[in-house]
Structure 1
Amino acid sequence: MREQEPNDPSDPEAQSHVDHHEAAPQVAVSKGDSQRQPLLVQQGLDTWELLIAKATRLLSETNIDGSWVASFTELTRDVRELARRNVDLALYVLIQSNGSGVGHYSAQHSMICLVMAELAADWMDWPAEEKQALALAALSMNVSITTLQDSLAKQSFSLSDRQRELINVHSAASVDLLTKAGVAEPVWLYVVQHHHLVLDPEDGGDAKTGPRLAELLRRVDIYTAKLSRRVSRESVTPAMAARDACLGASGHPDGIGATLLKVVGLYPPGTFVELANGETAVVIKRGEKAHTPIVASLRREDGGLLTQPERRDTLRAGLTVRKGVEPSRVRVSFDHRRVLACVAASSVRP
């Protein structure tokens, strides 16, 4: 590992009051994970890189027709299958990519939304056809502004009137593109159309498929956007993202919020934390409970860099998570392969 040139980090924002010590939920694992072949780290990293590049090219195309829909459906299937083979690796790769950089922003954002939404849908035992429609909607919800989103991620100045207009109408514009290309699946189109609208409880959202899926995607969209970096805005800690996406009017996680915290944890893979011993670490695997992830420590309490990433189980006394850390405050460059090798480490040095 090598230390990056220091930036001028802003003051840390106040942590959300999501309580991760009292009655912390277990982290849920997708029901089909154990039935698939294990995915080697290097194979997974290479395959995710290829899929991100493919998604960026496909979602940036201007000629959206029946052939495009077939390719898009195949891409959605490949993303779902790769994520299911190693959910922690999927979360790590996609959160790290959008939390620490601004390349391929739009495609990576849609992909992490797909992964998180499907984890939640799996946990809630939603039917296969609903999960299929949800996945297709998550990956296509911003198809009308893919290029714009990638540009905005690198833009340091305020939105122009034209950019704001395109953003305001992008849900309807995406539906229009999909419909003209031959997509006729009503739930898929409904979720894309409504993924920014707050669900009205009086509208029967618990019973109606479209509103229920759209509300889940809206929450995931907010949560993952907060974890993503842009030139004009740094990514925030998981606790702050959860405050905006998972808490209901009472100030506590509501049904969807609680489900998201169950399936990804309070500190998802790919995010950074400070441990009770003062070390700074990156989360590499969800733990037994929402607040006890497996992490790879990168920096000592005194600020010095560890020569090798060190595996830490935050369930152990003295290694608990003290708080989440914004990526902009970490300022450490590291090799993902070496970090992820800690997942399989059999021993932990205190």
Structure 2
Amino acid sequence: MSYALIDLENINEQSYENLLALWADLEAALNSALQHPDRVGDFPTKLAELRRWLEDMIQQDSDTALYLMFQLASTSMAGYSASHALVCASLCHMVAPPLGLGPHERVTLLHAAMSMNIGMTGLQDELALQTERPTLLQEQAIQDHPQAGVQLLRSLGVIDPLWLEVIAHHHTPPAERLPLQSLNTTQRLTRVLASIDRYAAMISPRKSRPDRSVGDSLRAIMGQRFDPRDEVGKALAATAGLYPPGTLVKLDTQEIAVVLRRTQEPKYPMVAGIIDSKGRPYERPPLYLTASGKPRIINSLPLSAISFSLDHRTMVSLGLFTARQAAGTQG
């Protein structure tokens, strides 16, 4: 599979459309590999190719990647399982450096994130659209899916024992309060993946449950007081930010805004107003640097807080333009 990266320093309407298409193509390719792994000639090589594709997009511009990830995952046409896997892999890629994971650990973690639910891909998509509780048969399939996934991956040619062990145990991670460095490699990666999996599931809307805000999701992982001993939660907050690009926030002006880009301070991102204080959508979104203190962010909101689709091209372009202006001023 071939793909071309976008020159984000000279982004225009066509290049942005290409960027959207690249993300959609990546999601569709992963969905195809997970839905029909038996049709992939060399599954381990294919997943490694998709992992490198994802890494390239994040490395090119992580704020744009995060924006697209959070916004498009909620409206994905590829299916919940693939979009959830992509969100998890993206976040695993970002938290790996601050958690001190080595190159092999990081690669294995991403492969595991992309394939952890391969034992129930179809069922996961079905459950995302299901309003009632899982049936007894579905509950059994959910319980069995880690081992089913390991067996399937082995049959597809996966021989990396660490990858397979993390898949086998990703629903039974070690105790959260044990320091990561006190764990063996399998336990360490399992803990990281389990925390990222929970976080990503909480912020993703499903028919059977409403989505949570990013703040609520982080608190659910780290505790109401953001326990500093939770290394994965701290890494999430430090890398993706307390308000990641693509997520929604409520301002003290009673406006609703979408986060465009992070800043050096996790609490103070760059945002664009999308709904004014009277509940009306903005025709021309105002930009706010919340680090200035006006306006202030009151709290994060779930993506379901708005009933219309954002113009992603405009939002990303606004963020890029303002980021360049700020960089030029600082320079």
Counterpart residue number, 2:289: 313
After TM superposition, the structure 1 = structure 2 runs for residues 294-305 of structure 1, keeping only pairs within 5 Å, are 294-305=270-281
Residue by residue over 1:247-293, the C-alpha shift from the partner in whole angstroms, topping out at 9 and shown as x without a partner, is: 39x76242221111111111111210011222111112122211111
Instruction: Give the alignment partner of residue 268 of structure 2, picking from 272, 292, 313.
Output: 292
Counterpart residue number, 2:203: 227
Give 1:67 deviation, angstroms: 1.8
Instruction: Give the alignment partner of residue 237 of structure 1, picking from 213, 224, 227.
Output: 213
In 2, the alpha carbon distance for the partners of 1:207 and 1:252 equals 19
Identify which of structures 1 and 2 has the higher relative contact order when contacts are C-alpha pairs closer than 8 Å and 6+ apart: 1
Counterpart residue number, 1:256: 232
> CA 1:321/1:173 → structure 2, altered by over 3 Å: closer, same or farther?
same
Q: Indicate the percent of aligned positions where both proteins have the same amino acid.
A: 29
Conserved? CA contact 2:214–2:247, under 8 Å: yes
TM-score by length of 1: 0.82
Counterpart residue number, 2:95: 120
State the AA in 2 paired with 1:281: A
Structure 1 segments unaligned to the other structure (5+ residues): 1-35
> CA 1:206/1:43 → structure 2, altered by over 3 Å: closer, same or farther?
farther
In terms of fraction of residues, the more helix-rich structure is 2
Counterpart residue number, 1:156: 131
State the AA in 2 paired with 1:177: L
State the AA in 2 paired with 1:82: M
Conserved? CA contact 1:310–1:342, under 8 Å: no
Give 1:182 deviation, angstroms: 1.8
Instruction: Give the alignment partner of residue 151 of structure 2, picking from 136, 158, 176.
Output: 176
> CA 1:61/1:101 → structure 2, altered by over 3 Å: closer, same or farther?
closer
Counterpart residue number, 1:18: none
In 2, the alpha carbon distance for the partners of 1:295 and 1:220 equals 24
State the AA in 2 paired with 1:80: E
TM-score by length of 2: 0.87
Conserved? CA contact 2:248–2:257, under 8 Å: yes
Conserved? CA contact 2:251–2:296, under 8 Å: yes
Counterpart residue number, 1:21: none
Conserved? CA contact 2:248–2:256, under 8 Å: yes
Secondary structure of 1:296's aligned partner: strand
Secondary structure of 2:172's aligned partner: coil
In 2, the alpha carbon distance for the partners of 1:65 and 1:107 equals 16
> CA 1:281/1:334 → structure 2, altered by over 3 Å: closer, same or farther?
same
State the AA in 2 paired with 1:331: S
Give 1:338 deviation, angstroms: 0.9
In 1, the alpha carbon distance for the partners of 2:98 and 2:112 equals 19
Give 1:203 deviation, angstroms: 10
After TM superposition, the structure 1 = structure 2 runs for residues 4-19 of structure 1, keeping only pairs within 5 Å, are none
Counterpart residue number, 1:131: 106
> CA 1:298/1:334 → structure 2, altered by over 3 Å: closer, same or farther?
same
Conserved? CA contact 1:195–1:214, under 8 Å: yes
State the AA in 1 paired with 2:113: A
Residue by residue over 1:285-337, the C-alpha shift from the partner in whole angstroms, topping out at 9 and shown as x without a partner, is: 12221111111210111112111222221112222211111222222322110
Give 1:44 deviation, angstroms: 2.2
Conserved? CA contact 1:102–1:230, under 8 Å: no
Counterpart residue number, 2:307: 331
Instruction: Give the alignment partner of residue 341 of structure 1, picking from 312, 317, 321.
Output: 317
Moved more, 278-287 or 219-228: 278-287
Conserved? CA contact 1:99–1:227, under 8 Å: no
Instruction: Give the alignment partner of residue 98 of structure 1, picking from 61, 69, 73.
Output: 73
Determine if the alignment matches structure 1 residue 210 to structure 2 residue 172: no
After TM superposition, the structure 1 = structure 2 runs for residues 16-31 of structure 1, keeping only pairs within 5 Å, are none
